[in-house]
Structure 1
């Protein structure tokens, strides 16, 4: 039976470290099991993932507050991608001007 799992370790100084263990099982004789593998410290990767998730959540909440504020104030916004020459309207701007929601409109060149 091969191994592939992660451990979370609480260090004596209070720091938390994450380890990834991968090992291949083999037989080293009758009734003797041997594992050959590696243990990797993945703490930096785990912390980066947690930070990325926190930022994505904060951005989602910020966008929700912006949309609610626009709805209450009956204002909207648009984004114009100059490279792709595409304009995207906010939901509220679509409601104001009766444009199908979230439709990206190509402008003429």
Structure 2
């Protein structure tokens, strides 16, 4: 009888104290994850919007803000192919502009890797 009168309130107080400490930390982690996901979605949307503006990737596309932010997440092999000097790509396959298709594929890969699909 006395044991229950002491242990139950003490356990309740300790658990309440610990949850009070943990709740803000958990909330900050959830907020960080939400913010990261929102930022990543906005990057994907900006990259796709920039590519939707053009039928063919212009020669100066590498100078754009969108490409600079995309390049940081691209695979090294794709960057080398995309930025290769004096390289000619012949149309065909899934689209008329092979360079645009490279970027579209890379955006899709990044989106999948980030778990946004």
Common fold by TM > 0.5 = no
Which has a greater percent of helix?
2
- Give the shorter-chain TM-score range: 0.3 to 0.5
Which has a greater percent of strand?
1
TM-score (ref. length: structure 1): 0.39
